[in-house]
Amino acid sequence: MKKICTLFAVAAALAGCSQPQNPTPGSSLNLDSGWQLSRDGSSEQYAASVPSTVAGVLCDAGFFPKDVLEHCNYAAVDKSIFDDAWTYRTSFAASPNDAQHYELAFEGLGYRADIILNGKQLAASDTTFGVFRRHTYDVSELLTANNTLEVRLHRAQKGDLNIGFVDWNPRPLDESMGIVRPVTLRTYGAVSVEDVFVVPNLNIETLAEADLEVRVRLRNHENSIVDGTLALELQGVGKCNIPIKLTNYQEHTFTITPEQVPMLHVDKPRVWWSYDLGKPEMYNLCANVNIDGKLSDTRSVDFGIRKIESRLIEGNHRQFTLNGKDILIKGAGWTDDIFLRDTPESIERQVRYVMDMNLNCIRFENIWGKDDTIYDLCDRLGVLALVGWSCQWEWEDYCGLPEVDGYGCINTPETEDLAVAYFRDQVVRLHNHPAVIAWLTGSDRIPNERLEKRYLDIYAAEEYRPYVCSAKNLESAAGWSGTKMEGPYEYVGPDYWFRDKEHGGAFGFNTETGIGANMPQMESLRRMLDLDKPEEWNYHCTASASALNTTAVLTEVINGQYGEAKDVQDFVRKAHAVDYDGTRAMFEAFRVRMPAATGIVQWMLNSAWPSLYWQLYDYYGVPTAGYYGTKKACEPLQLIFDYDTRMVNAVNESRDARTLKATMHVFDEYSKPIGGESREFSIAYRESLPLFDMHKYVGKAHFIALTLETLDGTRITDNFYCIPARDNEYDWSSSNWYVTPITKYADLSFAFNQEPADVTMTIERSNDVWNITLQNKSTVISYMNILKALNSAGELVVPAIWSDNFVTLLPGETKVITCRTNARDVRFILDK
């Protein structure tokens, strides 16, 4: 978010050079390249860039085999090399000027660091620690024309408040040791601009005006009183000058309001919306400090004009609103790569996946990101972000500190001081991002009263968004969280989400939940494990010691619902059906149950390493069946079968009221038509409208095919269901944190017992868009046709954005499906 104003584009360009000359005030040199990494006691060096982790650098250097994360290879790695200290070294040129100040800033160090510049120790590891701390050093007296910087790092130990992967995957080999966020050299004069914070207040009745409060934190680095001018430039609006005075070494926040500066009252503002409701419009504000007519420092921020609020509705559930509109949060939980090797390209691909699935939010349980790339993309593309601390620090097994009175593991003066410092630095880091809609200071627990009071003091000064004490349904001094975390995390049937009224079902705001295994496609499975070795399948489930760590539950589900798999291909295909229907139903239920349902977060969005669990696309970037089930479920306009009421509902989360036509066809278990109906209807935003009563089909296994059209016959979307003769039977009284057990499975074997269908595929290309036409020439339903785009190595192309996939074709039906990819030498196959 923070960058050099365009007025100083030359200085900004110099920041990327290895030999900057005459850096101007406000310039910043990013020390990201040209590093060498070495282990204490070894002469071998590895080329490194920053940010990075030691394990990530070694991986890129070929120290580990390419398949270190695959099979069971990870378990065999000797981690003792990370018991030693590792040192990052780099050299850089500068042209220091006695009239200027120079600051070396470290945005994140993992975990303890000795920092040495030109032979002078700036910091020692006994006082310089904490991965979410920002460390800055005045190096004005040490800087020379040619400089050498060394950062000697020690990995986190048991009891340290480190980056947390919890039980999602094995712990990083090096415990994320490294320079994990940017290192920069700043240049400024007598007064520096430490922070610029814009607090927008949009008139949500008209959206026609907004007031901006601007808080600029300045610091005087001189032992004398300084008078000067603070110059603000608001993009597309105007400029203003404000006189300032700072006493000796004073740091002060200047608050500027529309009453003082009329340009901060913005008429007809360009409003920031999430992508599904409008355009994510952005503004830029540049703040310059001038002393005696000369520039001392400059800082600019991007921000959005929008209003995010929340309230507790009936049932004590938290309802978020954006610019006055109630919204249903539909998201999934993010994780970084296990060695923090995400790139801007891989991050953008993933955010666009979120949008392609019609989700509107990402939950960041842990302040993820080596830099602000992910948050900048959420701002620019219009994806909401929930941020907060990880449960890594709330359970002794993961943190290494004792849990106290239900408050987790941060309960000593030392850990509380560190957590407060973390909180201040990360809140300030993120507080201009319009995509961020709330902070969660607890995940599975709440902070203790002392700690939370300090959090709230910081929040009052540095934030304005909703504060949420926990992702779980808990109460703190700040009030009720308004959220729930009652699971499940393991398989429950599609009917569960509609029928459950006490646990994870479709009411309130479920901050993390899912159906457990989200099976990768076969091409990914062949990369990550030996298909004939069960121990490798189990190794790539979760790292939980208590559950979710084998494929046993998935196997039981497949056997119970579809019948025992004939071979591994049949097993994977049936696992896809489990995933598609189960994940789709989770999102659909929360949409049908609006407004009592206020939010649903799939656990998880992605995986830190090759995994079989908790992902909508796999480690290699390939979508799972659940990806396409989510995409279908979350279409802005959709027809959804309610497993509890036995009604087909229309749901509208598009921006406007619509008048549409819905059609329903019913087929028996042998693909014979047994019913159908059409009707026109009008539907408002966030309305769930019952259309078709399906009670007369209860007790019969059947298929439901749904089509939604405009009144002129243009197809909007479709949906398809395999409905068993009877629902799953649950042992509701035995529900626990991760599952409600199924005592008798619904019989869905008829879905895979259809006669083979004759489906043809034709392909046409227009630039990077491929049109795939599928035609079912048979009199039977062709269930779950999987389209694959393969490269010359036989691997699935990434990214390949399909308009639909894992599709079902009715007897005689033709569908045209598009695939967008810029890959060359691509070939398409149909797995049916």
Model confidence pLDDT, tens digit, residues 587-609:
999 999 999 999 999 999 999 99
Mean pLDDT computed over 513-528? 98
* Separation of alpha carbons 636 and 513, rounded Å: 22
Decide if pLDDT at 192 tops 90.
yes
Lowest mean pLDDT among 16-30, 341-355, 785-799: 16-30
Mean pLDDT computed over 131-146? 97
Mean pLDDT computed over 298-321? 98
| Closest-CA residue to 610 (of 176, 71, 65, 171) | 71
98: Cα separation from own chain's centroid: 45
Residue 733 is which amino acid?
S
| Closest-CA residue to 593 (of 504, 491, 664) | 504
Contacts of 525 (CB under 8 A, 6+ apart): 519, 531, 572
Mean pLDDT computed over 124-148? 97
Decide if pLDDT at 1 tops 90.
no
Give the other-Cβ count within 10 Å of 305's Cβ. Answer: 23
Q: What is the spatial order of strands in the sheet that 317-322 belongs to?
A: 308-313, 317-322, 325-327
Q: What is the pLDDT of residue 15?
A: 32
* Percentage above 90 pLDDT, the chain: 96
DSSP per residue, 261-301: -GGGEEES--BB--TTTS-B--EEEEEEEEETTEEEEEEEE
Q: Which long-range contacts (CB under 8 A, 24 or more apart) does 741-748 make?
A: 742/491, 742/492, 742/493, 742/557, 742/560, 744/560, 745/493, 745/557, 745/560, 745/561, 746/493, 746/495, 746/561, 747/561, 747/701, 748/561, 748/562, 748/577, 748/701, 748/722, 748/724
DSSP per residue, 298-351: EEEEEE-B--EEEEEETTTEEEEEETTEEE-EEEEE----TTS---HHHHHHHH
Contacts of 747 (CB under 8 A, 6+ apart): 561, 701, 724, 725, 726
Decide if pLDDT at 18 tops 90.
no
Q: Is 166 left (phi over 0), alpha (psi -120 to 50) or beta?
A: left
Model confidence pLDDT, tens digit, residues 472-482:
999 999 999 99
Q: What is the pLDDT of residue 819?
A: 98
Decide if pLDDT at 17 tops 70.
no
| Per-residue b or e along 18-44, where b marks 16 or more CB atoms closer than 10 Å to that residue's CB | eebeebbbbbbbebbeebebbbeeeee
Q: What is the pLDDT of residue 22?
A: 55
Mean pLDDT computed over 347-366? 98
| Closest-CA residue to 447 (of 422, 478, 426) | 478
Mean pLDDT computed over 332-353? 98
Are 238 and 286 within 8 A, CB to CB? Answer: no
Model confidence pLDDT, tens digit, residues 370-416:
999 999 999 999 999 999 999 999 999 999 999 999 899 999 999 99
Helices (H), 500-616: 522-528, 534-539, 552-561, 568-592
Model confidence pLDDT, tens digit, residues 428-446:
999 999 999 999 999 999 9
Residue 331 is which amino acid?
G
Residue 451 φ then ψ, to 5°: -65, -45
Per-residue confidence band for 265, with pLDDT thresholds at 50, 70 and 90: very high
Q: Give the DSSP H/E element, type plus range, for residue 352.
A: helix 344-356
Mean pLDDT computed over 523-551? 97
Only one residue has tokens 């008429």, namely 267
* Separation of alpha carbons 456 and 462, rounded Å: 10
Quote the DSSP letter at residue 757.
P
Model confidence pLDDT, tens digit, residues 447-463:
999 999 999 999 999 99
Lowest mean pLDDT among 19-28, 239-248, 575-584, 628-637: 19-28
* Longest distance between any two alpha carbons in the chain, whole Å: 89
Decide if pLDDT at 111 tops 60.
yes
Residues facing residue 229 across a β-bridge: 243, 290
Q: What is the pLDDT of residue 824?
A: 87
State the distance between the two ends of the chain, measured CA to CA, in whole angstroms.
47
* Separation of alpha carbons 254 and 240, rounded Å: 14
Residue 36 tokens read as: 């060498």
Are 395 and 364 within 8 A, CB to CB? Answer: no
| Closest-CA residue to 447 (of 397, 479, 421, 409) | 409
Vertex 689, ends 644 and 701: CA angle to 5°? 35
* Separation of alpha carbons 623 and 516, rounded Å: 16
Model confidence pLDDT, tens digit, residues 236-246:
999 999 999 99
Residue 641 φ then ψ, to 5°: -85, 125
pTM here is: 0.96
Are 801 and 351 within 8 A, CB to CB? Answer: no
